[in-house]
Amino acid sequence: MEKAEFIERYTKADAGTKHLIEQLLTGLDCITYYKVCKALSVPLDTFLKDANKNKLKALIDASGLSRRYIAERIGISYRSYLNRENGKTEFRSNEISILKDLLGLSMQETADLFFPL
């Protein structure tokens, strides 16, 4: 597949296809991500943001906690929580701290999830 075709497919892809692309890149270190994105002329944050959004969703699903419960514990509305989980707005530091505790994440896991670079 040519670079232009890949970029077009990625930017127009549905969530499932993007997830597959991100899975291919899972486990790569930051330098490798950078090299892949540079070679494809795709912004690094496009990959990282989508990949981390999906990781957060998977962690929450695995935890068994409802999103309404998490929103309540964080102290925000359910709609505000969904906006944060979907990347429309960013989590605040106190919200990240609560999520870390709720999901049982280590400091490193939290840093990788919310602050990938």
**Whether the model pTM is above 0.85:** no
Q: Note the pLDDT tens digit of each residue in 22-44.
A: 655 555 555 665 666 666 666 65
Residue 44 falls in which region: left (phi positive, over 0), alpha (psi -120 to 50) or beta:
alpha
Tokens representing residue 92 in the block: 């605040």
CA separation for the pair 12, 93 (Å, rounded): 32
Q: Note the pLDDT tens digit of each residue in 80-100.
A: 999 988 888 888 889 989 999
Domains and CATH numbers, the chain: 3-114 (1.10.260)
Residue that is written with structure tokens 């999901």 in the block: 103
Asked whether the beta carbons of 87 and 49 are under 8 A apart, the reply is yes
